[in-house]
Structure 1
Amino acid sequence: MEQEQMRSLLNISVEAASHIQGVLARGEIEPALEEIVDNLAQIAAHIETATVDAAGLMQKVHLYAKNVQASVDDIRCGRTALECGVLWEIYPFVVEMQRLWHLATEVLSDASARAGHQERLMQAMKDLHGEPRTHYPYDVSIVLCAYNKLEYTKKAVESIFAHTDFSSGRIELITINNGSEDGTREYFERLPHRKKLNPRHNILGINSWQHIAEGKYIVGFSNDVVATPHWLEHLRTAMESDERIAMAVPTCNEESISNLQGIPVPYANTFEGMREMQEFAAAHNHLDPALWEERSVLMPFLAITRSDIYKLGLIDPIYTRGEFVDDDLSTLLRRTGWRQLLLKDTFVHHFGGVTLGADRHKGAGNALDEMRRVYYAKWGVDAWDSRGGFSGSENAWAWHTFHAGERVLVMEPRFGELACDLVNAYRRSGFVPHMTAAVFDERYLPDTDYLFDETMMTASIADVAAQCAGQRYDVITAGCYLDELPTTDVVADLERLYALLAPGGIIILPVRNPGSAYELDCMMHAGTREVYEPKTPRYAVIPYRQLLERFHAHPLLHQYRVHSILMKADEELVRRMKPLLRHDEDAPTDLELSLSVRMFFLGISK
């Protein structure tokens, strides 16, 4: 099918569906409605045929075309009422089908068009800052998506009705049966809510519901989540606390979430453990803003999001296999100045891995690897190596006693994970620091507005010292290893940073151990990084033992301390490497410890 013909058919479909929507909304009776619906099915059949061998986004267009026909069939046989079938299925399906076709053929296929589209989206998101919120029919739209696993879906639905107050009429529920074959559709049909989408053919990451959600906030609720007391009240309170917050996510059981978003729990992750889980949640869920954490990246297994932001197109359909959608969303929010919160005072249960399940690794190749490359191609940085965070940082913050009015300097924060950790530590102590970012790699310059009060672009630590002359900081730290900072003389540069410290201040820097089993293995098998850059980044190896010896005798830097980080995942690697290095005459006497310490935090106090 020619492109112009396809465009024309899609335009006609949207116009026809919009016409029917308007007629139904006005309560009018129009005899031609059924004929228009039949014509929509015929158009969808042509589109299905034209895209039968399509891949990527066009495959989703193909599936939407099949779903339009399935919805029309349900109307014809009386399984779905005309009004429900058109308003909740056919209309959002054809609108999303047109949007995806436009992206696939007229945006993503051309580099300049793709860049322009991204620029317009980001500008629109920036323009929302300070804009008045319009009237919404509902305060919250809860969107529950399910793909089979009915036993889990029932737990999710029952918990929503048990712990959500629908009595005001200000909260709506939207359910999506995404091609299930286990009775999920019949179960949803028995529920009292109005908006029910039943795409017969599974479209991973379906977005059509955004065209019918009418809430001020949208809650994406997976069918492997169980709601708990006060879950929604807490999420709404957090969102209303600051207009710059775009998204908030509760905490959950730690074994079912990555990104350090979970907490340890005393119950089993089973259906039988749910009664004990609810008791745990009832005791845990007490509103406490001191436990709200700034995050640079969130895994939104359940999330509340501003609908005006979401409907601009937050979910990029180029992630056709489901992975890295979360990383992409967080990057878009960071780079347009929006905050993301993890609510550690609000617990819900997450069974984990039910909504996507095994589909995440189906097909040729690995979804994680493939979508990680897609992310890099879009943003120009790696989603994992750019986090700017380190395990164990909370132990380093304990070296400093926080006070009101303190100033913090973070060098090369990258995405800002470590910087967020530090802000959260201040918040738990009841304080808000003044945050300054010193960025060396211009690719990360857009990642600072959401968190930092001021940002400087600089070329070296000497340049930082020059730009900050006259300023004093209580904490100076970095979102990268010491050997990744632009320095030619480590001791001289640390002296420059020391001069910027206020009395009682501290420098806290992550230091890589180049002789650890982890780093040696990386160099032997994967280069220095597992990234998707045209060339492998280089860093200068800093022999930390000699460095610490110099500090010991230094008149200013001698007040130092270290906190070593050992990873349990490295134990087997250490065991295998130790015999290979045991007979090396240059090997340290504490060889096993040297191999085990992946990195350490260096603290220098003034």
Structure 2
Amino acid sequence: MNEARGKYIALISNDMILTANWLDNLVTCIESDPQIGFVSPGANYVSNYQQINLPFNSLEEMQQQARAYNVSNSTKWEERIRLMPVILFSLTERLREIGGYDSRFSFGEFGDDDISYRYRRAGYKLIYAGDTFIFHHGSVTTGIDQRQNNSLQISRQIFHSKYGIDSWAEGLPNMQLVESLKSRWTPKPTVSFLAINCCVGATPLAFKTYFKQNGASNVQLTSLTNQEKYMTDLRTISDRTLYYQTMADIHQQLRGERFDYILFEYGYPDFIQSYNQEELIHAYLSPSGHFIT
């Protein structure tokens, strides 16, 4: 990485088989927006909702299927809180700007989470390029450390010590809530969206992606949280981020605004013990809006 001199840099895991058009597609994606920090494709074996399932029984057939699949398509690009970069594709200067990988994650795990957070906190977007498939054998290197050294839990704790955030418990989207959105979605060009207590914002960002992929060209996301530790990351994905401790704080900051969707992800039972659900809905949900929890 230190010796790289080209405009772009691709960090490729050692258990990958590259496919047709992978590089052209990733260049097209990253050049589409100067605020993109890095992009990563999908694969047959990967977590974080980046798996692409193509039918094949041999590596030759895999390459044929990948050639047909790997057609650049911006509707398959998704902004994410974190990426599992089977390939981390970035402008070289941007990778240097954020300082490369943190050597504390010596086993490999959670180094990807860490670099994702640092790109976002530096003002850049992370884009999953779902229009690009590569082949991943999976855990060829890290599997041994996971079995012999408990590397997953050690690395998870290093991340938590650095950020005060559990990247798994607090950084993954709730896709069941996203699925529940589909039955309530009426296509419209502009959507106002209030997300309450959604940790670092992975779930509202997935909502925002769904809105945009299904007819909304303008999505205005307001995030409310009662934990200050989430403010930094919520600001990276929200149009407005607000902190509250009481219902009076909410009223003061929102001042009767109306939203098409209100998402309340964590702590809802405790919230309604202290505050009136109907008060929240009546005050801030538009007449044809949807409340999701």
TM-score (norm 2): 0.92
Cα distance in 2 between the residues matched to 1:412 and 1:330: 21
Partner of 1:449: 235
What aligned pairs does 1:53-452 form with structure 2 within 5 A after superposition? Answer: 210-253=1-44, 256-268=45-57, 273-312=58-97, 313-363=99-149, 366-387=150-171, 389-398=173-182, 399-431=184-216, 432-452=218-238
* Match of residue 477 from structure 1: 263
1:338-391 deviation digits (Å, cap 9, x = unpaired): 21011111111111122444244434xx11111111111111122222115213
Q: Secondary structure at the match of 2:291?
A: strand
| Bigger relative contact order (CA 8 A; separation at least 6) | 2
Q: Kindly tell me: are residues 383 and 292 of structure 1, through their superposed partners in 2, closer, same or farther at Cα, counting changes over 3 Å?
A: same
Amino acid at match of 2:156: R
Change beyond 3 A, Cα 1:337–1:488: farther
> Do the aligned residues in 2 keep the contact of 1:218 with 1:307 (CA within 8 Å)?
yes
Tell me the CA shift for residue 324 of structure 1: 1.1
Q: 1:468 matched to which residue of 2?
A: 254
Q: What letter matches 2:288 in structure 1?
A: G
Return the alpha-carbon distance in structure 2 between the equivalents of residues 329 and 237 of structure 1: 22
Q: Is the 8 A contact 1:372 1:382 kept in 2?
A: yes
Q: Distance in 1 between matches of 2:278 and 2:24?
A: 47
In our comparison, the structure showing a higher alpha carbon Rg is 1
Partner of residue 192, structure 1: none
CA–CA distance in 2 between the matches of 1:318 and 1:421? 30
What is the CA–CA distance in structure 2 between the aligned matches of 1:464 and 1:217, rounded to whole Å?
A: 44
Instruction: Give the superposition deviation at 1:335.
Output: 2.4
Q: For 1:311, what is the secondary structure of its paired residue?
A: helix
Distance 1:489 1:341 in 2: 39
Secondary structure of the residue aligned to 2:273 is coil
The offset of 1:239, in angstroms, is: 0.8
Residue type of the alignment partner of 1:369: Q
In 2, are the aligned partners of 1:267 and 1:276 still within 8 Å (CA)?
Answer: yes
1:31-42 residue pairs with structure 2 within 5 A? none
With over 3 angstroms needed to count, the CA separation of the structure-2 counterparts of 1:450 and 1:409, relative to structure 1, is: same
Deviation, 1:494, is 4.1
Identity, in percent, stands at 30
What TM-score results when the alignment is normalised by the length of structure 1? 0.46
Number of paired residues? 290
How far the C-alpha of 1:476 sits from its partner, in A, is: 0.7
Does the CA contact (< 8 Å) of 1:246 and 1:340 recur in 2?
A: yes
